Structure 1
Amino acid sequence: MPLGIEKIVSGGQTGVDRAALDAASVLGIATGGWIPEGRLSEDGPIPGKYSTLREAATPDYSVRTELNVRDSDCTVVISRGELSSGSLLTFQLAEEYERPVLHLDVGTDQIESAVLEFQQWISSQSCEVLNVAGPRASSDPEIYSLAKSLLVLALADT
C-alpha cells in the first residue's frame, strides 16, 4: 500500500471528506469512517456509493469527527487558510488523542509543495489508517478538487 496506508477514513461530508474517499477509490485503498446518524450531509443523505461508512448513534457531526480521530492512526486536515469549525475540532481532537496530525494549507499554486510535505510527514509516521478531514464544499467550492488531486498525487507517487 502507498506509504503503508491500508485504509482512508472520513466523515462523508462534501468537500475534503468525499475527496479523500474518491482518491482512495482511484488508488485502490480501502475506505471507511463514521458518519452522522441518518447519513447526514449538507447536500442531503450521503450517497450510497460510500457504502463502507458506518452511522454513529447520533446525528451530531462532532461525535463522528471524534470517532474517526479515535479509530485512526493519524490525521491530515486539508484546507486553504486557517482551520475553523469542524476542521479545527478535528485537529484539536487528534492532539487530545495524541495522534499524529498535519494541517496542509493548500492553494492551487501550492499543490506540489503540499504533496511533498504530506509524503515526508506520512513516511515518518506509523499510519495504516489515515483520517482525512477539511472544509465542506459550501465553505470552499474548490477544495474537493484540490484535496483529491493532492491525495492522488501524493499516494500514487510512492
Structure 2
Amino acid sequence: MLKKIISGGQTSADQAALDAAIKLGIAHGGWIPKGRTTETGTLPENYNLQEIPTDDYSECIVQNVKNSKGTLIIFYGKLTGDLYRAERETLKHKHQLLGVDLNQTIALNAASLVNDWIQLRFIDVLYVVGPSTTVNPHAGKHTKLMLERALILDLMNVSSHRAVADYSKKNHLEEQPVLPKTIHEAVEKLITEMVLKDKVIIANMTHDELVDLNSNLGAYIRNSFRLWSGNHELMESCRFVSKNKKLNVDEASFAIIDAMWEKLRKTHTLKVIK
C-alpha cells in the first residue's frame, strides 16, 4: 500500500500530486530548490518539502528519484525537459517507472493503470512529476483528479471493514450529550465525527459494499445512538424514512448508513475526467 507521495513542487501537476496526498491523509514530501522556488513563485510552507543547498532543479530530480521506489511521469504527447530528465534518472537507478500520456488515455483508465502499477510493483514511496500549465492549462486539475481516483482504489484494496476506522472500539463509544432524534440528525453527527479518508472511501463504495459496514459502523450507531435502549424517536424516524413500520434495530442502523452514503455521494465522490 502506498505510504508517501513526493514531488519537486515545480509545476501545477507536481503540486496537485501533493494536494491529493494531503486530501487523503497520505504522507508527502520531496526536494525543492533553494528558496522553495517554483514555476509560479515560492512554494507555500504548508507543503513539507526540503530545500537542497542549490537552485539547480536537476539535483532535486536526482534526490527525489533516489528517495522513492517508483516514478510516475504525467505528460501530454511527448517527454521533454524535466520530464525526460526524470525518466533518464529513474532508469539509471533501475527504479520502477510509469509514464501516463493524458493525450492518449482517459483519466478513469489512467487511474486504474496507476493503481495496478502501484500494487504490482509494491510502490510505497511514489515520486510524481508532471508538466507545466504552458503544456496544458489543465495539467494540475487532471493530475489531482487522476491521482485521487488511483489513491482511493489503492485504499479500497484493503477490505471495507478494515479501511474504515473501527467505530466499534470502546474509545468511540463515549457518552453522547445529545442523542440524535431523526435520521437526518444521525447522519449529520456521523459525518461531523468522521475523518476525511473514511468519508471518501464510503462515498465511493457501491451500495452492495455498504453491508460490510453494518457490523462495524453499525455497531457504533446502535450503541452510541442508543437504538438498543430507548431512542424511540430515532427508531421511528428510520421506520418512516424506510417506509417499514417493522424495522428492527439492525435494519435501522443500516438505514442510517444508507442515508449517510447518499449524502456523501453528493460531496465526496471522485469525479471522472475525459
Q: Which has the higher contact order (CA 8 A, sep 6+)?
A: 1
Bigger mean CA offset, 105-114 vs 125-134: 105-114
Residues 96-120 of structure 1, C-alpha deviation per residue, up to 9 Å, x if partnerless? 0100000011149711111121122
Q: Partners of 1:134 and 1:74 in 2: how far apart?
A: 14
Match of 1:18 in 2: 15
Q: 1:151 pairs with 144, 147, 153, which one?
A: 147
CA contact (8 A) 2:11 2:130 kept: no
Return the TM-score normalized by structure 1.
Answer: 0.93
One-letter code aligned to 1:146: H
Q: Partners of 1:57 and 1:138 in 2: how far apart?
A: 28
Provide the alpha-carbon RMSD of the alignment: 1.4
CA contact (8 A) 1:66 1:93 kept: yes
Residues 112-134 of structure 1, C-alpha deviation per residue, up to 9 Å, x if partnerless? 11112112211111211100001
Bigger mean CA offset, 134-143 vs 121-130: 134-143
Q: Partners of 2:103 and 2:135 in 1: how far apart?
A: 14
Does residue 103 of the first structure (1) align with residue 99 of the second (2)?
Answer: yes
Structure 1 residue runs of 5 or longer lacking an equivalent are: none
One-letter code aligned to 2:22: S
Q: Percent identity?
A: 37
Residues 34-113 of structure 1 correspond to what in structure 2 (within 5 A)?
Answer: 34-50=31-47, 52-107=48-103, 110-113=106-109
Does residue 141 of the first structure (1) align with residue 140 of the second (2)?
Answer: no
Bigger mean CA offset, 84-93 vs 101-110: 101-110
Match of 1:9 in 2: 6
CA contact (8 A) 2:76 2:135 kept: no
Q: Partners of 2:137 and 2:106 in 1: how far apart?
A: 17
Q: Could you tell me how far 1:59 is from its partner in structure 2?
A: 0.3
CA contact (8 A) 1:107 1:146 kept: no
Runs (4 or more) in structure 1 with deviation over 4 Å come to: none
Aligned residues: 154
Return the TM-score normalized by structure 2.
Answer: 0.54
Q: Partners of 1:118 and 1:127 in 2: how far apart?
A: 10
Q: Partners of 2:149 and 2:41 in 1: how far apart?
A: 29
Structure 2 residue runs of 5 or longer lacking an equivalent are: 157-274
Bigger mean CA offset, 119-128 vs 68-77: 119-128
Residues 113-132 of structure 1 correspond to what in structure 2 (within 5 A)?
Answer: 113-132=109-128
Larger Rg: 2
